[in-house]
Structure 1
């Protein structure tokens, strides 16, 4: 995982790719776009992610001001994660990627090749 605070970016494409690349990043951002979720809810909606990886990704996004973490002062503890305004601005990118995939997935199926 890239430590976004330690790297100095001069290229906006490099920054964006580092931010949203990775097996789980887009999944997490996608499920949070409909509103706040608790840790367990995110884990249920993101198939096969480990607890450790989810924690790492959430911390990365929180450090980059993409998501916010709200802890409620109650017992048992309750924490919710939601997209910040900065995170919500990624929605058009995610929607475009999904649309492109929907439009081109048939090509992959027709050619009988697996996505690598």
Structure 2
């Protein structure tokens, strides 16, 4: 049972760009364009797909601020923020080994 859950976690985080989107949101909420600016190789279409998937998985929350113009920001949920320690460890490993 544990292995099945671990495999599911790797599928979610290993999906192309999902891990980087989550990593980018570790610090602060960001607008769509800010996320794109941080990951320039990522297309608008794929970013929109990943954000919807991560929102459906309750890792990312979409905040809409009704003002003129309308402002939309994405931020990690509590569940998403629980990944921070693991992501920071991956960051250290990548710096040391890649």
- The equivalent residue for 2:61 is 68
- The equivalent residue for 1:95 is 88
Unaligned regions of 5+ residues in structure 2, if any? Answer: none
CA RMSD of aligned residues (A): 1.2
2:23 to 25, 30, 55: 30
CA shift at 1:74, angstroms? 1.7
Unaligned regions of 5+ residues in structure 1, if any? Answer: 1-9, 106-116
TM superposition score normalised by structure 2: 0.91
TM superposition score normalised by structure 1: 0.78
> After superposition, what is the alpha-carbon deviation per residue over 1:87-114, rounded to whole angstroms, capped at 9, x for unaligned?
0001111111111111212xxxxxxxxx
CA shift at 1:20, angstroms? 0.5
Structure number, greater radius of gyration: 1
Q: Distance in 2 between matches of 1:83 and 1:51?
A: 19
- Structure that is richer in helix per residue: 2
- The equivalent residue for 2:77 is 84
Q: Which runs of 4+ in 1 moved over 6 A?
A: none
How many residues are matched?
A: 96
